[in-house]
Amino acid sequence: MQATAKYAPLKDAVDEAIEICLTDELTPGTVVVIAHEGQIVYHRAEGLSNPGKGIPMQENSLFRLASITKAFTSLAAAALIEQGKMQMDDPVTKWLPDFKPKTADGKTPVITIRQLLSHTAGLDYRWAQPENGPYEQADISDGLDISGITLEENIRRLGTVTLNYEPGTSWLYSLSPEVMGAVIAKAHGSTFQKAMKELLTDPLGMTDTMFNAEEKDRGRMTVPYFMDNGTLKRMEADQLVLNEDGWRFLFSPERAFDPNEYPSGGVGLIGTGIDLLRLVEAIRTNTCPTISESLMKEMSTNLFPNGVPEDPSMGFCLGWGVLLDPALAATPQSPGTLLWGGVYGHRWFADPARKLSVVIMTTTAVTVHNEPVSTTIRNAIYANLPA
């Protein structure tokens, strides 16, 4: 992409940051897309999408989006709220009458749509629990593995496990979007896949975003890696990756090509960098064809003025995070920056104050707190962004 003179320093700095990440073997390949003041000013693919076959990264390479999926699920729900087919404070049992997990004292609380979207429903993730924890005992899928079960069965299992807290009283990153996906399907009167397409991806022109790739897409699909004691290693068919907190991620990369696997509202989508930028710009500008500006603003309103538990620098909205304290987070981003990432190695952020939207896609799973690729590129962007 040819940069204008105004953005030449930005282009040179981001090019250099990418080269550093590749030279230091932090990732085999990356796609970076930057929009400033509503215009794409940088779009580059570099490195390899499949090192084993020497396939270069392309601007339209496909990535497993992992938790970036959550923003899509939240906005699909918002589109149904806009249509009047559900309300924020409706009980989940209106659509899933059998989903009635109990609290530790044996009560069956009401769980609402708002609580699912804000991760305040009392649910958890299997990867965040100790080995042989309650979710593993119930054989609950996190949506990253080959599960062999339906979405409905996974939610049934989820409903049998005791909640971590009374819904609405705390925050815990969780499988709430899995439940939200089943609710969306019921409220839309179709499948979750069809609902996502009609409510969000088609209206935003996201032609390369899907829950399942076809064999014809295999050449564009990136091959995932992870860091094994500081060395890049290609993921196996069923790859267990641990981090310093004891989190246990089970990846099955072939899930992306398995049409029998359920559509995960938390981690299941596949897409390109340029498609994702369309979503990020919609979030930054509060503009979506199927959702009003007022509801888009509500989706991005922080619900935790003192930050989420264990991270006072970061708040949370109805599907993604919001930066509260840049100094505490050691970032040049503006207060109010909206952001999230995915464990397969991607990060997006929208900085309304700087009129900036950024998508950074990699092929290195991020299971640790330090994200050297996205951090290096982010810092280069802010140091060279025109005023």
Give ∠ CA 252-257-261 in degrees, rounded to 5: 70
For tokens 């100094």, name the residue. Answer: 327
Q: Where are the beta strands (DSSP E) in the chain?
A: 29-36, 39-50, 55-56, 63-64, 225-228, 231-234, 239-242, 248-251, 270-271, 314-316, 321-323, 338-342, 346-351, 356-362
Bridge partner residues of 44 (DSSP)? 32
Q: What is the DSSP letter of 62?
A: B
Q: At 34, is the secondary structure helix, strand, or coil? A: strand
> How far apart are the C-alpha atoms of 33 and 54, rounded to whole Å?
23
Rounded to whole angstroms, how far apart are CA atoms 230 and 211?
Answer: 31
Phi-psi region of 148 (alpha: psi -120 to 50; beta: other; left: phi over 0): left
Residues constituting the chain: 387
378's CB contacts (< 8 A; 6+ apart) are 331, 332, 333, 347, 349, 358, 360
Q: Are strands 55-56 and 63-64 parallel, antiparallel or unpaired?
A: unpaired
At 186, which helix (H) or strand (E)? Answer: helix 176-188
Chain centroid to CA 244: 21
174 carries an active-site annotation: no
Handedness of CA 18, 22, 25, 26 (dihedral sign): positive
Please give the backbone phi and psi of residue 278, each rounded to the nearest 5 degrees, phi first: -60, -40
Edge-first strand listing for the sheet containing 356-362: 55-56, 39-50, 29-36, 356-362, 346-351, 338-342, 321-323, 314-316
Both tokens assigned to 113: 């749509």
Instruction: Pick the catalytic residue from 49, 61, 67, 147.
Output: 67
| Residue 61 Cα to chain centre, angstroms | 17
Active site residues: 67
